[in-house]
């Protein structure tokens, strides 16, 4: 099975420091949904792993989060794409849960539920914590410069980590499908 793990905010949709609290605030990044559909056509399963601490912070309910994801699924379906599953952490940093990235709990959950290893599986994110969670399970972290990506790229310089960087999800997916040497 071919698989790609995606962060949500700042990768699929525009990020907001005020959180995405309603379906109306969920705005896809240009080209991201088309990129997911391209992955699907190339027989990739696409799974999302996302921190959603806005739930624990009381900014939105689980029901609202589900409605946001329904909007995402519908928008994607119109383009012939689909996301197989969404794994989210609803906790706040103070909860010290095992699933809030950079912890690898969400990724372990994916491994268990799908019955696969994420070793070498591309995991695309815009934050350092996405890349760290990916590294913790031996996945292949890829950075996109949308969302918090530019800030993250500067942090990466400090850590000297060798992570492939792409303009956005569309560019990362193109590289993936072309089997670029960089990957």
Query: Which residues contact Zn ion (rule: CB under 5 A)?
Result: 89, 91, 97, 99-100
91 binds, among Zn ion, Mg ion, none (CB under 5 to 8 A by kind): Zn ion
CA dist., res. 44 & res. 56, Å (int): 32
Catalytic, 9? Answer yes
> Any residues with CB less than 8 A from the CB of 151 and at least 6 apart, and which?
none
Instruction: List, in sequence order, every beta strand (DSSP E) within the chain.
Output: 2-6, 44-51, 85-89, 122-125, 140-144, 165-166
Q: Which does 89 bind (CB under 5 to 8 A by kind): Mg ion, Zn ion, none?
A: Zn ion
d(CA 26, CA 101): 21
| Cβ at position 77, least distance to Mg ion in Å | 23
Per rule CB under 5 A, count of chain residues that contact Mg ion? 6
- List the interface residues with Mg ion, window 140-169 (CB under 5 A): 147
Q: According to CB under 5 A, which one of 3, 7, 55, 169 is a site residue for Mg ion?
A: 7
Q: Length of the chain in residues, anyone?
A: 183
Which of the residues are catalytic? 7, 9
């Amino acid at each position: 099975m071919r698989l790609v793990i995606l962060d949500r905010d700042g990768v699929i949709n525009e990020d907001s420091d005020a959180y995405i609290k309603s379906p109306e605030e969920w705005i896809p990044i240009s080209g991201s949904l088309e990129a997911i559909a391209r992955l699907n056509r190339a027989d990739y399963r696409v799974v999302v792993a996302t921190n959603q601490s806005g739930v624990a912070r009381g900014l939105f309910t689980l029901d609202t989060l589900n409605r946001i994801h329904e909007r995402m699924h519908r928008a994607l379906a119109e383009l012939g794409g689909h996301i197989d599953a969404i794994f989210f952490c609803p906790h706040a940093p103070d909860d010290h849960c095992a699933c809030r990235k950079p912890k690898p709990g969400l990724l372990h959950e994916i491994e268990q539920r799908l019955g696969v290893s994420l070793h070498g599986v591309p995991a695309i994110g815009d934050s350092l914590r996405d890349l760290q969670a990916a590294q913790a399970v031996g996945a292949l972290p890829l950075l996109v410069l949308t969302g918090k990506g530019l800030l993250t790229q500067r942090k990466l310089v400090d850590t000297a980590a060798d992570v492939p960087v792409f303009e956005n999800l569309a560019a990362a997916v193109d590289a993936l499908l072309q089997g670029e040497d960089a990957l």
